[in-house]
Amino acid sequence: MRELSAQARGVTGGWPGTLREAKAHVLAELNRRGATAPTVEQLLAMARTATSAARSLWSTRAEPDPEP
């Protein structure tokens, strides 16, 4: 949403994120905090949680897609 706002674009349509992107964000944040690398299962669980939270936030702010 920040990137869209910086580009003067609206938040529209369905959630654009992917699980792969969520994993990358989780790993970057863990690295930033100096945390140890998670197991594959832990990473997947954290990425799913992050995706779910982001999708929920997106849905509260997104406008319907104007194109069918």
Long-range pairs for 46-49: beta carbons < 8 A, 24 or more residues apart = 47/19, 47/22, 47/23, 48/19, 48/22
Over residues 38-66, mean pLDDT: 93
**Distance (Å) of CA 37 to CA 16, 41, 48:** 26, 11, 17
Dihedral sign of CA atoms 20, 26, 31, 32 in order? positive
Over residues 9-37, mean pLDDT: 94
Q: What is the pLDDT of residue 68?
A: 62
* Cα Rg, the chain, nearest whole Å: 14
pTM attached to this predicted model: 0.80
